[in-house]
Amino acid sequence: MKSIIRSKTLLLCLTVLLAANHTVFAQVAVYPDFLNFDDVTVGQTVSRPLVIKNQGDTTIAVNDINFSHTYFNVSDTSFFIDSLDSKIVIVTFSPQDQGIADGTMSILVAAPSDTTLEVELTGWTPIDLNVALVRNEYLMPISFNLQQSRELLLHLRVSSETNWSIPGSESATLTIYIDSTGSLQNQDIVLFKGDQLFVYKLSLGRMDSGSHYIEIYFNGDKSSPGAQLVYLDEFSLIPIALNSPDYDVYRFSPVLYGRDLFSDDESVRTDVPLLMWHEVDTVGSDKWIEYSMIWSNEDGGTNSTSLMSRWGRTTDIEWFYKVKVDPGGYVLEEYFQGPGHYTTFFQGIRIDDHPVLKTVTVNNMVSHNEVSNYKFFLSPERSKHERHSREILMDEDPWTYEIMALEMIVEGKYESPANPFSPAVSDARNYLYLEFNTSEFNASRITFGVKLSNDENWYFSDHNDISVQAVNREGWRRSTIELWPETTLADLDSLKIMGSASGSFSITFEELSKVFLLDDDFALLVSTLTLDEPFVLSESNSSNQFAFDELTSVGGEEVVYAPKIFLLSQNFPNPFNAITNIPYQLPASSAVLLTIYNLRGYEVLRLVEREQSAGYHQIRWNATNVASGIYFYRIQVGDFVQTRKMILLK
C-alpha cells in the first residue's frame, strides 16, 4: 500500500522501511516541497530545479513522475539514485491559457516497496480584460478552477476618470463578488489612483478546491457622484502555496470595514486604507504575526503640522491586529488596537480564519464588533525592513505620498503660497525628509534645522515653535523640514540636530540613514549623504551641526548602511552553473572562516580563512570542477556561525 510523504526540508526527511528485517532502509526526500513559478505569460516556459535525495544505504528507483495539471512537465520521469546521492530534475511551467494553475507533482519511488513523494506546484498568467465599465455595470464573470483549497490573492490593474483631489469626483468603487453576491468574501476597491493605471492588491481569502467565478461591479451607489467610467486592464489570480513558510501570514490577514463617523460614504474620499503589511516575530517555536495599515490621512489625534514634524507624513500608520500561533497554526493569543491606542483582546467574528474589524475613530483605531458599507480585504504580502522606520513602506510605494498630498488638497489643509516660516503645512514636495535612529532618549524632543546655500536663514522641523510636536522617543523615526518650493539637494548647506528638555537629558543619536526630497511626480530624490558616527546630545551639548559636504558621501544612487550585525546572505545566482557569489557582512574587523561542504558533510573548500575589515564583503566561487548537487556554505566568526544551502546545476 502506498504512503504519501510530504517532506518539509531536505534535512528533515522521512524514513521509508524497505526490507522486512528492518535492517536495510532508504531515506527519500524532495527539496523544496513546493515550486512557485510566479507570473508567466502564455506560451512562455519557466523552469525550476527540484532535488530528490537518497540518504539511505540502498539504491532507489524512480519509476514515474506524474502531474495533476497539464501545464507542468519534467525533464526525466524514471531513473535510479544511488545510496547517499541525489538527482536534480528540471520542472517546467508552460501555460497555454490565461489564468491560474495549481497542482501536484507525484514522484513514484520503488526500491523495493512503493513510496510517493508529492510536490505542490503553483503559477499564474495575467488575464487581459481591456474593457471599460460605466456606472452600475458588471464585467462578465471570470471563471477559474482550483485543484487544492488555499488562500488566494487578486491583483487588478485598473483606472478611473476620477481625481482624489477634486470634491465630488474623488474615486470610483468596484465591488468584487466571489461566486455569489451574498458571499462573505465579497469586498470593495476604492480607486484612489484615478486615471493612472494602477495595480490594486487584494486578498480573496480561503477558496475551496473546485470551480469558482469572480464578478467585478462598478458600484455607482458606493462611488463619488462624478465617477462615470472605469477601465479594467489586467487581472491576476495568485495562489499561495500551502507549504509556503508565509502561509499563516495570508491565512490570518484581517478584513477591515471602512470608517463611517461623518457619513456612510466617507471611504470614497478620506482616510481610505492604502497599503497593508505584516511583520513576523518568532518566540520559541511560536510566532507573532502583526498587521499594520497606511491610511491616506489622519483626520484627528495630531494636527498636520505636528504630523510632519513628529512622523514625517500626514498619512496615518498603525498596527491594528496581531496574532500568536503555534507551529500547527493554532491561535494562542490575538489582539487589536482599539480606541485610545489600547491593546484589546480580539473576540469578534471571522471569515474562515480571517478576523473582521472596523475603523472606528478619526485616528484610525479599530473595533471587533462593527461593520459599515465599505469592506476592504487588502493583501498582506508586503513586509517591513527591520532597520528602518515604518515610513520605509511609503518610500517603496511612493504613490502613497501622492495620495497623501491630494487628500490634503481636497480638504483645504495646504497653505498657498507656501511659506516655510509659517507653521501651516504646504505641498508634500516642499519638504526635506529625514530618517534617523536614536538608542537612548531621556529628553522631551529632538528637532532638526537646515540652512540652504546663499540663504542666511535656518529652517526647522518644528518651525522653531514649541507648540509643534517633535520626535519624543527612541528608535527608527522620521521628521521633515519645510523648505521653499523648487529646493534641490544641491541647495542643502548645513544640518543641525538638536535635543531639548526642561531639565537634564541625554539622547544618543546613532545614525542619519536617509535624506530625500520628492520630485514633481512624488518619486524620491535620495541624497547620497548619511551620518553613521554616533554622538550624544545633552544639556551641556544640546546641538550638533554638520556641513552637508562633511557628511559621509556614498557613491551611486543607493544609500549604503554600515553593517550592525554579522550576517551570511544567500548566494546569487542560486541555482547556479559553475560560478556564484556569496555575500556576507561584518560589523567589526574579524577573523573569518568561510567553508563549502557537500551534502554528506565533507569539506570541499575553504573560500576565506583570514582577518577581514568591518563592512560588506562578497566572495566568488568557481565550481567548474565540482559535480552538480546541493552544497552548504558556512561562516564562522568567533562565536557566530551561520550556514546556508545552494544548488549547483550544470
Q: What is the pLDDT of residue 562?
A: 54
Q: How many residues are present in the chain?
A: 650
Q: Which CATH class is domain 4-121?
A: mainly beta
pLDDT band at 563 (very low <50, low <70, confident <90, very high): low
Sketch the domain layout of the chain as residue ranges.
Answer: 4-121, 125-239, 247-384, 414-553, 567-648
At residue 176, does pLDDT exceed 70?
Answer: yes
Q: What is the distance between the alpha carbons of residues 640 and 618, in angstroms, rounded to a whole number?
A: 18
Superfamily of domain 567-648: Macroglobulin (MG2) domain (2.60.40.1930)
Alpha-carbon torsion, ordered 92, 97, 100, 104, to 10 deg: -40
Tens-digit pLDDT profile for residues 251-269: 999 999 999 999 999 999 9
Nearest residue to 70 (alpha-carbon basis) of 41, 90, 93: 93
Q: What is residue 259's predicted lDDT score, i.e. its pLDDT?
A: 96
How confident is the model at residue 616, as a pLDDT? 78
pLDDT tens across 81-114, in order? 998 899 999 999 999 999 999 999 999 998 656 7
631, with CB counted inside 10 A (0-12, 13-18, 19+), is buried
Q: What is the pLDDT of residues 593-632, one digit of tens each?
A: 999 988 877 889 999 999 888 887 889 898 888 888 888 9
Domain 125-239 has what CATH class?
mainly beta
CATH class of segment(s) 414-553:
mainly beta
Side by side, which strands form the sheet with 603-612? 603-612, 590-598, 629-637, 640-648
Using an 8 Å Cβ cutoff, are 250 and 349 in contact? no
**Is it true that 4-121 and 125-239 share their CATH fold?**
no
Between 638 and 425, the higher pLDDT residue: 425
Report the distance separating Cα 20 and Cα 22, nearest Å.
5
